[in-house]
Amino acid sequence: MGEPGLELGVEPERLTDAEQAFRLKREADPMASLRSQKSDSVAAVRAALAGATSCSYTYGSTHHFYHYPARFAPPIAREVIACFSEPGDWVLDPFMGGGTTIIEGLALGRRLIGVDLNALGHFVTDVRTRPITQQDERALRIWARLVSDSVASADTSWITQETVRNLPAPVATFMSGALMLADGLPRRQHDFARCALLRLGQWALDCRDFAPRRKQLARKLPALLDEMIAGLASFSANCRLTGLKSEDVVSNRILLHRNAVGLENETVFRIDGVSPKLVFTSPPYPGVNVLYHRWQYRGRKETPAPYWIANVPDGFGSSYYTGGSRTPTGLKAYFGMITAAFQSVTRVLARDGMVVQLVGFSEAAAQLPLYLEAMEKAGLEECHVEGGRLGRRVPNRKWYARLKGAVDASMEVLLIHRPKVTRS
């Protein structure tokens, strides 16, 4: 028997009627979004906002590789990119997180630039958008079977176990052994294996009260790996529909591990002269505590295990990733960061480009005017939408809501801006 709260099989997908209709439409005509007309753009985006729920975060492609905190639903990204850009355009996401914009943009035939200061987000996005070969698939399945047979056995004397804060011993032993067995894999396979272990660790620990035993982890790993391989195959197939071959996917996206402030100094903008026609992003939310850099286990216990598993640098506090704490001083720092970041965005944006962003607010009445003021300081003016500004309320938005119970609903607003018009 497994520990309470853990299911060994794949969780069944639950879709609303709206999501089911959306899926059927996409399966019947995968190119429908590419033919969206500008006159239908607001209606299409509004429908995506209304139909996107927590279930749609993990549907299809490589979105289920890792559940990055505060991610937005793929249908929203898909419709915004289809409505506000054309195939071949450059699209920029200066706060790419786990890469939803990058995945959907590539699948729609765009060229993408993703920026994020979180090394974990950069790692996950790279794996999610790097196709693998059939040889890679075979090697990874052999690795998963070897891990399942070896690490679940009674003899673990061969494993050099790492000590990671608040990581339960059975999980630490399993992960240590699995990582040791992955050491001989080529880089692309090695990164994919680490990402599979990230997904396994998140399933096992994040917002859980009980950790699984090694045998449970051993049974789960091959199933998760197969799901990920199938998801990457789906992503590659979607790219091929737009004429983008698997071997060309990586060359059509640029991923930068850095702060968005000062990004105009990057070679792609300063030397190559790239000017994105669309910026689509979801920046950190002001005054909202989201743990981008930790898993939470048994209540509020935090573990840096994801960075150890992915083998990427960490060492920063929560406010580093959110742009500021929830204190008045922290909020002031946040709006200063947002202003500076979008000043950089404005400097690289095409003159006829658009900036579309999905932003959440814990106190919209107080924070939304400050956010709009920051956009104005950055050189952007809001585009007013017929029928009013697009937005929605999302219950249980905080990623650890399952342990804390019901949390206050948060407000998400879709803001649409363009560069200010200079009048003589």
Comparing CA positions, the residue from 218, 235, 232 lying closest to residue 177 is: 218
Beta-strand pair 390-394/90-93: unpaired
Question: Does residue 403 surpass a pLDDT of 50?
Answer: no
In contact, 103 and 129? CB cutoff 8 Å:
yes
Question: Does residue 350 surpass a pLDDT of 80?
Answer: yes
Six-digit token pair at 315?
């060492």
Distances (CA, A) of 239 to 80, 106, 175, 185, 250: 17, 6, 33, 27, 11
Provide the pLDDT for residue 400. 35
In contact, 413 and 359? CB cutoff 8 Å:
yes
What tens digit of pLDDT does each residue of 154-169 get? 899 999 988 898 999 9
Six-digit token pair at 7?
């299911």
Percentage of the chain lying above the pLDDT 70 cut: 79
Q: 190 or 24: which carries more pLDDT confidence?
A: 190
Please compute the mean of the pLDDT values over residues 251-259 and round it to a whole number.
97
Provide the pLDDT for residue 405. 39
Determine the Cα–Cα distance for residues 415 and 313; give it in Å rounded to an integer: 33
Torsion of CA 284, 372, 354, 116, to 10 degrees: -20
Strands (E) located in 151-266: 253-257
Please compute the mean of the pLDDT values over residues 102-129 and round it to a whole number.
96
Please compute the mean of the pLDDT values over residues 323-343 and round it to a whole number.
86
* Region of residue 315 (left: phi > 0; alpha: psi -120 to 50; beta: else): left
Question: Does residue 357 surpass a pLDDT of 90?
Answer: yes
Question: Does residue 31 surpass a pLDDT of 60?
Answer: no
Segment holding 193, helix H or strand E:
helix 187-205
DSSP string, 299-344: TTEEE-HHHHHHT------HHHHHSS-SSHHHHHHHHHHHHHHHHH
pLDDT band at 323 (very low <50, low <70, confident <90, very high): confident
pLDDT band at 185 (very low <50, low <70, confident <90, very high): very high
Question: Does residue 22 surpass a pLDDT of 60?
Answer: no
Provide the pLDDT for residue 35. 38
Q: What share of the chain is helix, strand, coil (3-state, %, to 5)?
A: 50, 10, 40
Comparing CA positions, the residue from 44, 55, 54 lying closest to residue 77 is: 44
Tokens 């920029």 sit at which residue?
A: 92
Determine the Cα–Cα distance for residues 160 and 163; give it in Å rounded to an integer: 10
For 125-129, 178-182, 326-330, 352-356, which range has the lowest pLDDT when averaged over its residues? 326-330
Provide the pLDDT for residue 173. 96
pLDDT band at 52 (very low <50, low <70, confident <90, very high): low
pLDDT band at 314 (very low <50, low <70, confident <90, very high): confident
For the chain, the average pLDDT equals 83
Question: Does residue 410 surpass a pLDDT of 70?
Answer: no
Segment holding 114, helix H or strand E:
strand 111-116
Provide the pLDDT for residue 116. 95
Provide the pLDDT for residue 47. 79
Question: Does residue 97 surpass a pLDDT of 80?
Answer: yes
Please compute the mean of the pLDDT values over residues 76-105 and round it to a whole number.
95
Q: 407 or 47: which carries more pLDDT confidence?
A: 47
Strand partners, 391: 413
- Our measurement of the distance from residue 107's CA atom to the centroid of its chain's CA atoms, rounded to an integer in Å, reads 15
pLDDT band at 8 (very low <50, low <70, confident <90, very high): very low
Question: Does residue 290 surpass a pLDDT of 50?
Answer: yes
Question: Does residue 258 surpass a pLDDT of 70?
Answer: yes
Question: Does residue 9 surpass a pLDDT of 70?
Answer: no
- Please, what's the b/e burial string for 208-234 (b: 16 or more CB within 10 A of its CB; e: otherwise)? beebbbbbbbbebbbebbbebbebbbe
CATH topology of domain 41-119+253-296+318-419: Rossmann fold (3.40.50)
φ, ψ for residue 392 (rounded to 5)? -160, 165
Beta-strand pair 301-303/295-297: antiparallel
Question: Does residue 16 surpass a pLDDT of 70?
Answer: no
Provide the pLDDT for residue 319. 62
> Which distant-in-sequence residues (6+ apart) come within 8 Å of 23 by Cβ?
15, 59
Provide the pLDDT for residue 387. 77
Please compute the mean of the pLDDT values over residues 322-351 and round it to a whole number.
89
What tens digit of pLDDT does each residue of 197-226 get? 999 999 998 767 788 999 999 999 999 999
Please compute the mean of the pLDDT values over residues 91-107 and round it to a whole number.
96
Burial of 418 (0-12, 13-18, 19+ CB in 10 A): middle
